Amino acid sequence: MTAPAIRHYLQFSDFTADEYAYLFERAALIKAKFKAYEKHQPLTDRTLALIFEKASTRTRVSFEAGMYQLGGSVVHLTTGDSQLGRSEPIDDSAKVISRMVDLVMIRTFEQAKIEAFAAASRVPVINGLTNEFHPCQILADLFTFIEHRGSIKGKTVAWVGDGNNMANTWLQAAEILDFTVHVSTPSGYEVDQDVAGIRSSDSYKVFKDPMDACRGADLVTTDVWTSMGYEAENEARRKAFADWCVDEEMMRAAQPDALFMHCLPAHRGEEVQAEVIDGPQSVVWDEAENRMHVQKALMEFLLLGRMA
Ligand code: CP
Ligand code: NVA
C-alpha cells in the first residue's frame, strides 16, 4: 500500500472550495465541543513544531493551545535559540525536524523559504505568516464571517491599507470562494497580481479613495501600515497611509450590517479609529479566538484527512 501524498498549507490556494466547506463545518463542530468542555483528542501522541522567525501572540497561543487540546504536544523554536539563526541550510533543518515531529508550522520572511522547507519535509508544513501570505488568518476571518452572516459567496470585502500578506491572501480566497474584494491602498503600496498568485483580476476592484472601496461592502477590513520585516519604512509609511484609517464615515458607507475585522495587533488612531475597532460592528475578538478552532480543524485534516 502506498502512503497518501503529504499535503502542505502554504497558501490559501492549496485547498479547494469543497475542502474549505469541509473545514468550516469541522471547525464549527470542534468549537462547539470546546465550548461544552468535551474532549476531542484525535492527535494523541502527535507533535507539532512551531518555528518563529518573527514575533507572535495569537499564532503561537492558538497553535500551542489547539495542539494540546487535540491531545498532541508542541515544540517551540525561534531563529535566536536554534541553528536556524546560524545559517544551517533550510533543507537540512527541514530534513531533521520532520524526522522527529508530525507537523510543522513556520512563520518566516520570504514565501520561498517556507516552500523550500516544505519541499524537503517528510511531514505537512503550515504557513503561520510569510511576507506574502497569511492563510491561517484568512481561514479564521472567513469562518468568523460565516458564523455572523452566513456564506461569503457573492459578498463584497473592502480592503483598506497596505497591499500586504493579508491583502494577497484575501485575493486568493475571493478567487476560490467566489466573492469580490474592493482594494484601496496608497500609491506605491498596491497589490500585485503575480505576488498574490491569482489567475485574473476578475475577483477584485481597485479604488483610489478608501471611502469608495467601502461603499456597499459587507465586511471592512484593514491591517497595520507597517508589517513585520518592513520597520525601516515606518516613517515613509506613516505619511503615505495617513488617509487609510478606517473611520466611522467609512463604516457608514458600507452596508448597515457590515462587519469590521482586523487580524491584530492593531494601532488605534493609525489604520483604524478606536470607535470602529471597539465599536458594535467589530468582531475582532471572535476573529482572534477562531484562529484556534479553525487551526485545530486544519491540523486534524492535514494529519488524518476527512473525518466521517
Ligand atoms: N494575527 C496574528 O497572526 O497575530 P500574531 O502576530 O500575534 O500571531
Ligand atoms: N501584515 C502583518 C500581519 C501581522 C499578523 C505583518 O505581517 O506583520
What is the average pLDDT across 145-159?
98
Q: What is the phi/psi pair of residue 271, to 5°?
A: -75, -15
How would residue 308 be classed by pLDDT, with cut points 50, 70 and 90?
A: confident
The predicted structure's pLDDT at residue 1: 59
CA-nearest residue for atom 3, ligand 2, is 227
How would residue 110 be classed by pLDDT, with cut points 50, 70 and 90?
A: very high
| Residue among 63, 130, 227, 287 to mutate when testing ligand 2 (max atoms within 8 A of CB) | 227
Q: Is the dihedral of CA 84, 89, 90, 95 positive or negative?
A: negative
The predicted structure's pLDDT at residue 2: 67
Collect all residues with Cβ–Cβ distance below 8 Å to 117 and sequence separation of at least 6.
90, 91, 93, 94, 104, 106, 125
Q: Rounded to whole angstroms, how far apart are CA atoms 231 and 226?
A: 6
Whether residue 223 lies in the annotated active site: yes
Domains of the chain by start residue, with CATH: 12-134+289-304 (3.40.50.1370), 137-287 (3.40.50.1370)
What letters, b where the CB count within 10 A reaches 16 and e where it falls short, cover 200-222?
Answer: eeebbeebeebbebbbebbbbbb
CA gyration radius, the chain:
19
Choosing from 111, 137, 281, 295, the catalytic residue is 137
For ligand 2, is residue 59 a contact (CB within 6 Å)?
no
In this predicted model, what pLDDT tens digit does every residue of 231-275 receive, in sequence order?
999 999 999 999 999 999 999 999 999 999 999 999 999 999 999
CA 264 to ligand 1: nearest atom: 1
Beta-bridged to residue 181, according to DSSP, are 157, 204
**Centre of ligand 1 from the C-alpha of residue 56, in Å:** 5
CA 134 to ligand 1: nearest atom: 3
Ligand number nearest to the C-alpha of 59: 1
In this predicted model, what pLDDT tens digit does every residue of 156-210 receive, in sequence order?
999 999 999 999 999 999 999 999 999 999 999 999 999 999 999 999 999 999 9
In this predicted model, what pLDDT tens digit does every residue of 33-73 receive, in sequence order?
999 999 999 999 999 999 999 999 999 999 999 999 999 99
In this predicted model, what pLDDT tens digit does every residue of 84-95 receive, in sequence order?
889 999 999 999
For ligand 1, is residue 137 a contact (CB within 6 Å)?
yes
Q: Rounded to whole angstroms, how far apart are CA atoms 128 and 62?
A: 11
Q: What is the phi/psi pair of residue 50, to 5°?
A: -110, 120
CA-nearest residue for atom 6, ligand 1, is 56
**Centre of ligand 1 from the C-alpha of residue 281, in Å:** 21
Tell me which of 13-17, 86-90, 129-133 is least confident: 86-90
What is the average pLDDT across 280-302?
98
Share of the chain above pLDDT 90, in %: 96
273-281 long-range CB contacts below 8 Å, 24 or more apart? 273/245, 273/246, 273/247, 273/248, 275/247, 275/248, 276/246, 276/247, 276/248, 276/250, 276/251, 279/248, 279/251, 281/251, 281/257
